[in-house]
Structure 1
Amino acid sequence: MPDGTDDSALSATEELALARLALDEGDLHHAAGHLAGALARAPTLPEVHETLARLAATDGGGLDLFPINHHTFVGAVVARAHLLATAGRPAEGLDLLAVATVYAPGAQWAGVPWVTAPELAERLPPEHIARVLMQVCAALPDPVPRVGRAALIPYLTLARNAATVHPEHGLLLGAASALARRLGEVELAVRWASRGVRAQPSKMGEVWLGYAYRSSGRTRDGLAALGRAVELDPDDLAIYADIAGTLAEIGRLDEALEWAERALARDPSFDCAVHTAHRVRHLRDGNLAHLVALADFVRDHPDDSHEHGDLAQCCRSRPWLGQLTPAGGALVDALRQAVADDDNGLGGTVSLAAPAPPSAVVTALANAPGLRMVVDAVPEPDPREPRRASARRLWHYAGQIPTPALPAPSPTAVERVGQIAHPAWAHPPAAYDAAVGLAGLDVADLLGLLVHPPAAPANAVGRLLAAHDPSVWVRGVQVWACLGLLHHRTDEPWEGSTRRRVLLDLIWGVEDWVTEAALFALVTAAWVDPEVRPDVARVVGERLADAAAVARTRPVPIIASLAHLTLATPELDPGTAALAGELLDTYSPRLPRPRNPLRRLWQRLTRPRNP
């Protein structure tokens, strides 16, 4: 179903006016097109339905004006559904409304009297209503966010009416329970599913009851119902995975793993059990290898039966696995305070024990121009110099103030990174996939983004960061620019590739936020390509060892973040992992208190986004 028509810019009122004009002139085809457009924009507007009724009164009832094919506009589908109901064929009409709801669940397609009237439930077979409810449920999250529930209430009303007419129909009651659960009516879901199981015991009935109990907080009862479902059908391995997931949620990890492994013993490639088993193993021992193995399974099995969230759940809010780390240091703390106070001058003086990372300096001066930095000393080794002489220079220094050593990126690069950059991602492979939008940029553009990061966009995320922590946006741009480098000339073998060489240059440059971004890109490469893992693990180990050695003589502001990156690296050797743990124990900043504004900011930024 395409999103619009040829007149997609018209409002519902304009479409309706054109439809009436065409209808008055006897031009039924143009009237139908404009009515479809009006319905797509205002599916419950009474005047639209009145005009549709006029069209239905013409010869043939108007059905021929809204044919169904492979590219039918959604408004035409809905119009045909209403005309079918008017023509005495409500079952077919309801089927089409369900199709529209699956396509766009947030629209009020079913919010019309003929759907919510008790008579519809009396006229349709209960099996048909159950199938429609299951079709709608399959397209919905569980639970549906509150903001999206109003459009689905007509289906719940239909379910209530049908449950009244058919109080002993197990399939109908189970499907009604599934819908009620998704719409937050969990106690109603329990009642309906319980009635269904009593009336007609079945595997699916017990599954619906188990889900309803689980949503209502009665986990023990839910597990019992799912256990009965297994007894009724021992070959349905999805139920094993559901039991394992439920047990994991309440911390019974050993039992959860037993259920997952029972399913794997029957089918080692069963996707639900594989995902659950890897997640539970990681929850038990914290070993990153389980998550990497899960990522490998996802890559090797792109045609899984449905999408799973186990990997994203394990990576969510974890440093570099699901989000970048907040920058630390006195200068960034002063920047946050300055923008939070918004004292017009955005000024003050901050004393630094050593030169701050150049990206931090540039970000602070751009967002708080009144800030004055006082550097106590320049310790050795000089933090303004690359860690390896061969590394690419991104900055020139005039005393303590860095300036970009590279030209600014093109407007195209600025536009693309602005559409993609975000401080959180589902997991490293998902970040890699999302960065494919930067694949067409050349290296000069991507490097230019590192030292000339564009301003945050004028959207909710951009405004939030500008008001609390502008450094997060800059760090995000740098991360995504480096991920873009991973997509540069992917036909080149890794060892001698341009992407590897450029990233290594960045990693061994001046200690900066760019160092972290480039190292994350390397770590991401190891997640998506098993063949590069030994090389990446070696580079990560060398970079961490260098930072640890420097930290014995002077501060290394990025050392805690480098340690987090190290622990996110596949196939890391035990010695390097131990060093990363020691460095985190020594240098990791204390977590902010729950009421700290920075903590609240990160909770909002890293909140899972709806697909």
Structure 2
Amino acid sequence: MDDPRLSAEGELALARLALDEGDLTHAAGHLSGAIAYAPTMPEVHEVLAQLAARTGGGLDLFPLDHHPFIGTVVARAHLLAAAGQPAEGLELLAAATGHAPVADWAGVPWVGAPDLPGRLDPERLARVLMQICAGVPDPVPESDRGPLRPYLRLAEHAIEAYPHSGLLLGAGSALARRAGEIDVAVDWARRGVRHWPSKLAEVWLGYAYRSAGRTGEALAALHRAVEHDPDDLSVYADIAGTLADNGRLDEALRWTDRALARNPTFDCAVHTAHRLRYRRDGALAHLVALADFQRDHPDDSHEHSDLAECCHGQPWLSQLPAASEAVVAVLRRVLATDASPAGGRLRLTGLEPPSAMRALAATFPDLAVTVAEVAEPDLREPRRSPVRRLWRYHGTTAVPAAPVPSASAVERIRQLAHPAWPHPPAVYDAAVGLATVDLDDLLGLLVHPPEPPATPLGRTLTEHDPTLWVRSVQVWACLGLLHHRADEPWPDSTRRRVLLDLVWGIEDWTTEAALFALVTAGWVDPAARSDVAGIVAERLADAAEVARHRPVSIARSVAQLALATPGMSDAARDAARQLLAATDPPAGRAGWFTRLVNWLTGRRRGRSTAHR
């Protein structure tokens, strides 16, 4: 069922059969499915028209209940238009676009009819265009702009019908800007200001100029917007963002300071100020303060992406760092060359973490691995005792000491595990789906990671770097531990005790995963912040001490975790930076890994501008 048109034809055949039998409810259900698969397919609209003719309009067969199926919403939109209510139909199509922007919901004849806007109120048309803008990025990636074209034609026809509507011109400019039609956006916005001198019209013009690279004119328009309404602090944030994007950071911060002096809790100004301060000096405290603000003010005026933008691409703040063990380098090299190591031998000068050794063995079970020596301190022993043990050793071979997880736990982790996230509070929230997984299952997942799912993510990791999947599972399992009995007070909680056991257990990837869970606790729970900072600093000092005697493959990652820890002391941060400087990765490796993670996430950067 990967072919949408074939799927639509199947649904359409069932709809016709149900219609012939007089089963109108089932016919409507199959039509909803067909239109979701192929929203512009003429045959679907023909059968929808037949159903409408049989039922006096058919609207009752496509109700908008609490969680309507998107195909039902779109079918109802077309029926509303056919029944003489195109404004209501456009609003439903705009809602569908906000839900699934890459589908061509509006690419049908009635939306593109030149005479349609003349039958509608211009202000209502403008609100539809603003609704569309609020649901898509600014700008929309070029490959995804096709579904916006019908709306852009609608805007063109609307402006022809109402050439003096400043609101319509401004909303059309915002849509044209998102669709990459920058010259059109500037023209419409300038006309909008001429016919409707106002704050909003100037803001639309400022954004159009900014997209055109005309920074001076953009700032002039935004300054005029402030003159129209000195109390709209969002414009102050717009000016600050524009100045910062053009290297004028000190001026930008003066504008955020002006806004915060008027209202210290205005969300746009707070987000922009913290982002710019972090950009200025790189102090993690700005991001932690922003996360605290988001937690304490959940009802912001609109969604902000400043925290995610600052964390993007940074180890542990938004993604797993690459594993650095020698066995992992061998694994990647063999996969890259499509060579078969069957019957081959690998000699290691020293023992490496059990998860890394097990990942190599799982990928290449016929590869014979020998270890020349086990240096002191012995990697096979926990860093502290007594602790909960995840591994036991037979010679230099690690054996899991935790039971195999249940099938339900495996399915849950396969749905959630991923090597990237927007920022620590977001990954904490996402991991709540593991809150009901048993403790033994979570521990079992750490040493018995399941196969990757049959998804693009799973197939890519299997082909290029299976270790990244193992590490993802371990990180999310530890995040699940962070949700275990979350009602228990932190100092004496089961979750803290278990994570500490993992932190001080055998040196392993699970050490990093447990530390990240603790770091995340520090981000989301200010009461745990000081305790977490102390634990991470202590583990960092231990890694640095061991590294004086033998290689510690996780040392670099532990240092990165320390730099991501809220409330970390200056001394510990300095120690982390020194450790990082002493463990620079080989040239090219970090760039390769970042490209892989960016490809996997498909993340598109850009700050939200709401409907502007």
Q: Which residue of 2 aligns with 1:419?
A: 415
Corresponding position of 1:199 = 195
Name the residue aligned to 1:353. 349
1:367 matched to which residue of 2? 363
CA–CA distance in structure 2, aligned partners of residues 128 and 18 of structure 1: 37
Instruction: Give the one of 334, 338, 347 matched to 1:338.
Output: 334
- Aligned counterpart, 1:242: 238
Corresponding residue for 1:485?
481
Q: Which amino acid aligns with 2:417?
A: A
- The counterpart of 1:547, out of the listed 540, 543, 548, is 543
Q: Does the CA contact (< 8 Å) of 1:339 and 1:346 recur in 2?
A: no
Q: Which amino acid aligns with 2:535?
A: V
Q: Which whole-Å CA distance do the structure 1 matches of 2:359 and 2:417 have between them?
A: 17
Query: Does 1:604 pair with 2:599?
Result: yes
- CA 1:522–1:44 in 2, change beyond 3 Å: closer, same or farther? same
The question of whether the paired residues in 1 share the 8 Å contact of 2:482 and 2:495 is answered with yes
Deviates more, 1:397-406 or 1:561-570: 397-406
Question: Are the equivalent residues in 1 in contact too, given 2:186–2:209 (CA < 8 A)?
Answer: yes
- Compare 335-344 and 583-592 and name the one that shifted more: 583-592
2-structure distance, mates of 1:571, 1:461: 34
Alignment of 1:297-308 (within 5 A): 297-308=293-304
Offset of residue 423 of structure 1:
1.0
CA distance in 2 between counterparts of 1:173 and 1:347 reads 71
Other structure's SS at 2:115 match: helix
Match of 2:555 among 538, 555, 559: 559
Distance in 2 (CA, whole Å) between partners of 1:100 and 1:148 is 15
Q: CA deviation at 1:310?
A: 0.8
CA pair 88-602 structure 1, distance change in 2 beyond 3 A:
closer
Q: Larger deviation: 371-380 or 443-452?
A: 371-380
1:270 partner amino acid: F
2:389 maps to 1:393: yes
What's the Cα RMSD here?
2.6
Bigger Cα displacement from structure 2, 41-50 vs 276-285: 41-50
More displaced stretch, 65-74 vs 354-363: 65-74
* Equivalent residues in 2 for 1:303-314, closer than 5 Å: 303-314=299-310
User: Pick from 267, 270, 276: which aligns with 1:274?
Assistant: 270
| Cα 1:33–1:519 shift into 2, 3 Å | closer
Q: Does 1:575 align with 2:571?
A: yes
- Three-state SS of the structure 1 residue aligned to 2:461 is helix
Note if contact 1:453-1:474 (Cα within 8 Å) is conserved in structure 2: yes
470-479 or 70-79, which moves further after superposition? 70-79
Residue pairs, 1:443-458, within 5 angstroms: 443-458=439-454
**Is 1:139 the equivalent of 2:129?**
no
**1:395 positional shift:** 1.5
Flag structure 2 segments of 5+ consecutive residues without an equivalent.
1-5
Q: 1: distance between equivalents of 2:556 and 2:364?
A: 26
Q: Which residue of structure 2 aligns with residue 4 of structure 1?
A: none
Alpha carbons of 1:560 and 1:165: their partners in 2 closer, same or farther (altered >3 Å)? same
Give the SS at the match of 1:179: helix
**CA offsets, 1:216-264, max 9 Å, x none?**
3333332222122111111111111111122222332211111111111
Highest RCO, 1 vs 2 (Cα 8 Å, sep ≥ 6)? 2
User: Offset at 1:390?
Assistant: 1.0
Shift in alpha-carbon separation, 1:59–1:575, aligned structure 2, 3 A? closer
The SS at the match of 2:116 is helix
Are 2:135 and 1:121 aligned? no
Q: Which residue of 2 aligns with 1:220?
A: 216
Give 1:6's aligned residue. Answer: none
Matched, 1:587 2:583: yes
Contact 1:264 1:270 in 2 (8 A): yes
In 1, the alpha carbon distance for the partners of 2:21 and 2:386 equals 78
Q: 1:437 offset after TM fit, Å? A: 1.1
Alpha-carbon separation, structure 2, partners of 1:406 and 1:479: 17
Offset of residue 507 of structure 1: 0.7
Give the letter aligned to residue 170 of structure 1: G
| Aligned residue in 2 for 1:5 | none
1:171 shift after superposition:
1.3
Q: How does 1:20-59 map to 2 (within 5 A)?
A: 20=16, 35-57=31-53
The amino acid across from 2:595 in the alignment is: R
Is residue 14–residue 27 contact of structure 2 (8 Å, CA) maintained in 1? yes
Q: Deviations over 1:470-510 (max 9, x none)?
A: 11111111111111111111121111111111111111111
Larger displacement relative to structure 2 (426-435 or 392-401): 392-401
Distance 1:414 1:21, change over 3 A: closer
Following TM superposition, by how much is the alpha carbon of 1:327 offset from its aligned partner in structure 2, in angstroms? 0.9
Unaligned segments of structure 1, at least 5 residues = 1-9
Secondary structure of 1:85's counterpart equals helix
Shift of 1:598: 3.9
Structure-2 change in CA distance of 1:232 and 1:39 (3 Å) = same
Indicate conservation of the 8 Å contact 1:338/1:368, yes or no.
no
Amino acid at match of 2:152: L
Q: Which amino acid aligns with 1:143?
A: P
Using a 3 Å threshold, how does the CA distance of structure 1 residues 252 and 346 change in structure 2: closer, same or farther?
farther
> Any conservation in 2 of the 1:181–1:212 contact (CA below 8 Å)?
yes
Change (3 A) 1:253 1:12: same
Match of 1:156 among 152, 158, 175: 152
Rounded to whole Å, the distance in 2 between the matches of 1:381 and 1:356 is 12
CA 1:56–1:400: 2 relative to 1, 3 Å: closer
TM-fit CA distance, 1:161: 1.5
1:293 shift after superposition: 0.8
Separation in 1 of the partners of 2:457 and 2:343? 24
Q: Separation in 2 of the partners of 1:603 and 1:73? A: 31
CA positional deviation for 1:609? 6.9
Aligned AA for 1:530? Answer: P
CA distance, structure 2, for counterparts of residue 465 and residue 29 of structure 1:
44
Aligned-partner residue type, residue 452 of structure 1: H
- Return the offset for 1:361: 0.7
C-alpha offsets along residues 401-448 of structure 1, whole Å, 9 cap, x if unaligned? Answer: 211122211111111111111111111111111111111111111111
Cα distance in structure 2, aligned partners of 1:482 and 1:59: 56
Q: Distance in 2 between matches of 1:365 and 1:253?
A: 51
What do residues 86-110 of structure 1 show as CA deviations (whole Å, max 9, x unaligned)?
A: 3444334333433443444343332
CA contact 2:334–2:340 (8 Å) conserved in 1: no
Pick closer, same or farther for the CA change 1:479–1:30 going to 2, 3 Å: closer
State how 1:437-516 maps to structure 2 within 5 Å. 437-516=433-512
State the Cα distance separating 1:84 from its structure 2 match: 4.0
Q: Distance in 2 between matches of 1:310 and 1:89?
A: 40
The alpha-carbon distance between structure 1 residues 76 and 578, as it changes in their structure 2 partners (threshold 3 A), is closer
Contact 1:338 1:347 in 2 (8 A): no
**Distance in 1, Cα, partners of 2:62 & 2:481:** 49
2:176 aligned with 1:180, yes or no? Answer: yes
In the other structure, the counterpart of 1:536 is: 532
Tell me the alpha carbon deviations over residues 159-188 of structure 1, each in whole angstroms, 9 at most, x when there is no partner.
111223333322111111111111222222
Q: How many residues of Structure 1 are paired with residues of Structure 2 in the alignment?
A: 601
Residue 17 of structure 1 deviates from its aligned partner by 4.6
After TM superposition, the score normalised by the length of structure 2 is 0.92
Secondary structure class of the residue paired with 1:356: coil
Which segment is superposed worse, 367-376 or 570-579?
Answer: 367-376
What SS class does the counterpart of residue 369 from structure 2 fall into?
strand
Query: Is the Cα contact below 8 Å between 1:338 and 1:346 reproduced in 2?
Result: no
